[in-house]
Amino acid sequence: MIFFDNNSFAYRWRLSSDISRLEEGIKIHEKKIQELRRQKKELFGSQKNLEKFARERYLMKKENEDLFLIVDVEETDD
């Protein structure tokens, strides 16, 4: 005779698989956090790296410089 209640085998198996999935998600996020911390340390570790990041990401420049942007234009079939 089998009883179906809140503590059934199927329910416990589903909870176990959910826990495993969530633990894997935690591991993935922890790896991402470690990588971001490494990047932050590298970026703010020297003025040269910080300047390079600002130039590339935010298109900043020094007063006596000119900035030229090269943009790829996709061809359209017209």
5-54 pLDDT, tens digit each: 667 788 888 999 999 999 999 999 999 999 999 988 888 888 888 888 88
> What is the rounded CA–CA span in Å between residue 69 and residue 52?
16
> What is the rounded CA–CA span in Å between residue 74 and residue 16?
49
The answer to whether the predicted template modeling score (pTM) of the entire model surpasses 0.85 is no
CA atoms within 13 A on the CB side of 35: 6
> What is the rounded CA–CA span in Å between residue 18 and residue 5?
19
**Confidence bin at 78 (pLDDT 50/70/90):** low
Q: Are 32 and 22 in contact (CB under 8 A)?
A: no
